[in-house]
């Protein structure tokens, strides 16, 4: 699950890119990818028009049928990986999850980008925030998509390894 603020820009963009990359890697039928938001302010709304435009310009599906929804505590135990778009989202998700295994599944999305800064345990995660394009123009949505794409292959590699470990197969 990818998670941002309102579930109309960053998290659906990441959901769409990850689905595309997982399908290309032959994992699409083994993995469910969805998205949600910390806030309910955009509940029921489609993917933002500007995000749709950028996705389409880059050859991705535009999220037809997507409706924004707020993440619930009951969503988290069913997810093997919860990808937060910002440190603020990660903190909110960890509070929602409580302590233990479920909270440990909350990971910063950009931590999978090989060019992103490495954040040691206990260090501030905000350097891994995916830029919020909401208040900007097309260039901000381009930046957001670039950050999402830069981490997507790392997420796919992580998922592939997790599936192999679950199934007892060697990782490649």
Q: Over 70: is that where the pLDDT of 171 sits?
A: no
Q: What is the pTM of this model?
A: 0.95
Q: Over 60: is that where the pLDDT of 172 sits?
A: no
3-class secondary structure for the chain? CEEECCCCCHHHHHHHHHHHHHHHCCCCCCCCCCEEECCCCCCCCCCCHHHHHHHHHCCCCCCCCCCCCECCHHHHHHCCCEEECCHHHHHHHHHHHCCCHHHHCEEEHHHHCCCCCCCCCCCCCHHHCCCCCCCCCHHHHHHHHHHHHHHHHHHHHHHHHHHHHHHCCCCC
Contact (Cβ atoms closer than 8 angstroms) between residue 25 and residue 156: yes
Active-site residue (options: 40, 53, 132, 153): 132
Based on the residue annotation, tell me whether 23 is a catalytic residue of this protein: no
pLDDT per residue over 108-133, tens digit each? 999 999 999 999 988 999 999 999 99
Based on the residue annotation, tell me whether 4 is a catalytic residue of this protein: yes
| Model pLDDT, residue 168 | 82
Question: What integer best gives the mean pLDDT of the chain?
Answer: 96
Based on the residue annotation, tell me whether 9 is a catalytic residue of this protein: no
Active-site residue (options: 9, 10, 34, 52): 10
């Amino acid at each position: 699950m990818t998670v941002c603020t309102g579930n109309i820009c960053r998290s659906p963009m990441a959901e769409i890119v990850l689905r595309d990359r997982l399908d290309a890697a032959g994992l699409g039928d083994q993995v469910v990818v969805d998205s949600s938001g910390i806030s309910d302010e955009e509940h029921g709304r489609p993917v933002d028009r500007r995000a749709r435009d950028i996705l389409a310009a880059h050859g991705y599906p535009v999220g037809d049928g997507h409706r924004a929804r707020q993440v619930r505590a009951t969503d988290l135990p069913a997810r093997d990986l919860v990808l937060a778009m910002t440190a603020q989202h990660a903190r909110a998700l960890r509070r929602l999850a409580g302590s233990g295994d479920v909270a440990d599944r909350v990971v910063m999305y950009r931590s999978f980008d090989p060019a992103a800064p490495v954040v040691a345990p206990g260090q501030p995660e905000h350097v891994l925030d995916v830029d919020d394009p909401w208040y900007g123009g097309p260039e901000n949505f381009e930046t957001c998509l670039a950050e999402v794409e830069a981490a997507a292959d790392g997420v796919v590699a992580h998922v592939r390894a997790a599936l192999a470990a679950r199934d007892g197969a060697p990782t490649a």
